[in-house]
Chain A
Amino acid sequence: MLKLRVIPCLDVRDGRVVKGVNFVSLRDAGDPVEQAKLYDKAGADELTFLDITASSENRDTILDVVQRTAAEVYLPLTVGGGIRRCDDMRRLLLSGADKCAINSAAIRTPELINEAAERFGSQCVVVAIDARSNGKGGWEIYAKGGREPTGIDAVAWAEQMAERGAGEILLTSMDRDGTRSGFDLDLLKTVCDRVSVPIVASGGVGELSHFVDGAKVGASGLLAASVFHFGQFHVSDVKAALHNAGLPVRLNR
């Protein structure tokens, strides 16, 4: 049986791991390669690197981080941040990334997703969506790391991205990110119900029960950063909680 994926996320800036709380006030949590090795041993199912300043400075540092990680860790690796064109993806894939998460560039040029899926296959094209409640029962997507409103409906966007060839949606609730109050389950369930590719839930976990809640509304992957980095939970705690709730997880090899 296919298992739920527990995915630690490393926000990387200038080759160092940081985690933004509501996308500001960054705290340093160490070397990405060392962190990746720890998560590999801890039983993580995948790892995600988000290069949070890639679009403005030091963009190539992530290639080195990916290369060094792929040499040490035999786990699927998703990398996002600052990907503008297919050639950026190619460089990441050649460095050892398995999937690339595209956000702002897809908003600017939706056809990029068709092109990337055709060239590399849907399996390595992840569309990252930063969504915020519009106060009217819907959600709007934001570009540029959550700084730029777009007026685009998040659910329709997720559907369009899957149609264009995205193999996975990484769905972050901006309202919940960093709050530790749980995933935005309305948003998550709505997108899971409307889109048939796997959905990775992100933004807001603070309790073990939050992972269970996300899985129950249909997420295939559960992504978190701070709760892992600062030692609040071990990956095995999360898996035990999911397992105890009757959900399928990979407990051993």
Chain B
Amino acid sequence: MRVVVIDYNGGNLASAAQATRRAAQRRGIDADVIISRHEADIQNADRLILPGQGAFADCAKGLKEDGVQHILENATQKGTPFLGICVGMQLMAEYGLEHGRTEGLGWITGHVSRMVEPEQAGLRIPHMGWNNLDFTPGAHPLTEGLTPGDHGYFVHSYALHNGNPTESIATTQYGATVPAIVARGSRCGTQFHVEKSQDVGLTLLGNFLQWQPQP
């Protein structure tokens, strides 16, 4: 299996790649995980991973450089499973409001804006640390092997708002219900850092590698 971690202006690429290798190894999957932004690699990939760290606007700009966004759109349109992590997941939204309005990929419903409710509830921002994942067991292959209440490691001040409940796979609570895993078609994303969430993260990454989304 060829897995490409998308190289663009942002993201802890090495950690995402390492965690993916370990997740594959745990499932006995022979995975060749590379970090690349080249069209041929992305087109030929069996799985695509977009990590994310930093501001929405900067990351969106990074995606546009060298036409990476266009290449990704083509590759995922033909059904290559895609996973966005943190800002990588946020970039899947229609638009983001961090450092001005920036268009997203438009792959999931909703927009990304600052988390206001936690602040109003007196909670600290960023939402930083381990928080529970709430989901219906058995409802989606990505959560297989996980138990509601398992923890993911979150670090973010912005979140997906006005999403479509049918695209919400898991949520967490932080002064409001916050999307934690989203999916539409063969594209999915996690707000928490799967590559930093120990066994829970590796389980989800393994599920992603074995995911056979219905076209």
Residues of A whose CB lies within 8 Å of any CB of B are: 1-5, 40, 45, 67, 70-71, 74-76, 93-98, 118-124, 167-168, 196-198, 220-221, 250, 253
Contacts and interface: CB of A to CB of B under 8 A. Distances in A.
B114 to A, nearest CB: 11
16 contacts: A5-B129, A70-B15, A74-B18, A74-B197, A75-B196, A94-B12, A96-B14, A98-B15, A118-B55, A121-B53, A121-B55, A121-B87, A124-B53, A196-B124, A220-B124, A253-B150
Given A98-B12, A120-B53, A123-B155, A1 B173 contact: yes
Contacts of A76: 153, 155, 193, 196
Interface of B: 12-15, 18-19, 22, 53-55, 58, 87, 99, 119, 123-132, 150-151, 153-157, 173-174, 193, 195-202
A40 B126 CA distance: 23
A19 B179 CA distance: 40
A221 B53 CA distance: 21
A1 B132 contact: yes
A167 B128 contact: yes
Contacts of B125: 196-197
A123 B198 contact: no
A98 B129 contact: no
Contact of A250 (B15, B99, B151): B151
B9 to A, nearest CB: 10
B153 to A, nearest CB: 6
B14 A2 contact: no
Contact of B126 (A45, A70, A167): A167
Contact of B15 (A40, A96, A168, A197): A96
A45 B129 contact: yes
Contacts of A45: 129-130
B197 A2 contact: no
Contact of A74 (B14, B55, B201): B201
